[in-house]
């Protein structure tokens, strides 16, 4: 217990811990709507295109002589992710190609573009690793303040517009017929998803950020029946798992992002198994013979 209090009091861990908890608690808010819309992989697609933005930031930084070169990496990632998220939403809306094909384009184009551009900027693929897998060492007070602002924005949009966003996610055609501004809400959700991915990738990494948006929601669905309770439980699970996973890395020399995601998946597997056992042991109602 004393070692735990020592870890919590470490100033080097304080900013990353608060950042991780905020991301873990707020990312499932967006994830709840994505799961409802059957677009769980959107976060992955946005994350991959954000890598191209990171590389573009490096390229611009190198061209104008910035030191260090990655000063513009985060702004570049934000711009690329937002543009990519809006593009895929417009493509999905017009129905010219299916959502999964558009996501596949983001997957492949994002990775390839990021690798190619970072090499043109004079960097190496190792420079992308901390964005792929996350790096606690890069989280400072500035990142914490950005995360606090993002968390406030997610709470405002996710909770303030929850009823309208649920209507759009549940039945888009009915929502449009009811006079709800479907396109505006869809684009707003896409932009918030992009911002969530670009900020969270500093902690859990691009390859795992989507898991923090989706896995807590999937776990919460095993415990709750309503949309509102699912979102609330997912937020608690995400925040708790992020804190536990990051604190564990204080003693273990392992990737914080990978640890957080693995813990989230283990929790899902445990709850799913227990739920299945309870269902198998619960008595089934006796069948009533049909009257012929």
pLDDT in tens, the chain (292 residues): 555 555 555 556 677 788 888 888 888 988 888 888 877 777 777 888 888 888 888 888 878 876 666 677 778 888 888 888 888 777 777 665 555 666 677 777 877 888 888 778 776 667 677 777 776 666 777 777 887 888 888 888 888 888 888 888 877 788 888 888 888 888 888 888 888 888 777 767 776 778 888 999 999 999 988 888 999 999 999 999 988 888 887 777 777 778 888 999 999 999 999 998 888 887 666 555 544 4
In angstroms, the Cα distances linking 124 to 14, 56, 59, 116, 117 are 30, 13, 12, 10, 10
Structure tokens belonging to residue 272: 């799913």
Check: pTM over 0.85? Answer yes or no: no
Candidates 189, 147, 193, 159; CA nearest to 172 is 189
Candidates 194, 205, 253, 215; CA nearest to 20 is 205
Cα separation of 1 and 73, whole Å? 39
First-to-last alpha carbon distance for the chain, in angstroms, is 69
Radius of gyration of the chain (CA): 21
CATH of domain 2-281: 1.10.3470.10
């Amino acid at each position: 217990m004393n070692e735990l209090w020592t870890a919590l009091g470490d100033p080097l861990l304080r900013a990353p811990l608060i950042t991780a908890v905020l991301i873990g608690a707020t990312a499932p808010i967006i994830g709840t709507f994505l799961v409802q819309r059957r677009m769980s992989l959107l976060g992955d697609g946005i994350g991959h295109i954000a890598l191209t933005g990171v590389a573009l930031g490096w390229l611009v930084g190198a061209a104008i002589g910035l030191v260090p070169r990655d000063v513009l990496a985060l702004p570049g990632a934000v711009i690329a992710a937002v543009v990519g998220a809006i593009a895929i939403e417009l493509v999905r809306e017009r129905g010219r190609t299916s959502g999964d094909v558009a996501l596949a384009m983001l997957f492949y184009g994002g990775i390839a573009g990021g690798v190619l551009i970072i090499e043109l900027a004079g960097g190496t693929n190792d420079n992308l690793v901390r964005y792929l897998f996350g790096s606690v060492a890069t989280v400072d007070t500035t990142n914490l303040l950005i995360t606090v602002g993002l968390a406030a924005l997610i709470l405002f949009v996710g909770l303030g517009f929850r009823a309208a966003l649920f209507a759009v996610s549940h039945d888009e055609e009915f929502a449009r017929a009811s006079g709800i501004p479907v396109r505006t809400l869809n684009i707003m959700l896409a932009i918030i998803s992009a911002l969530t991915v670009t900020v969270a990738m500093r902690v859990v990494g691009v390859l795992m950020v989507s898991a923090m948006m989706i896995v807590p929601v999937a776990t919460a669905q095993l415990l709750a029946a309503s949309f509102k309770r699912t979102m609330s439980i997912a937020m608690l699970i995400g925040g708790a798992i992020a804190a536990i996973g990051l604190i564990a890395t204080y003693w273990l020399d392992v990737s914080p992002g990978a640890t957080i995601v693995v813990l989230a998946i283990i929790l899902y597997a445990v709850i799913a198994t227990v739920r299945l056992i309870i269902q198998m042991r619960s008595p089934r109602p006796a069948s009533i013979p049909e009257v012929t």
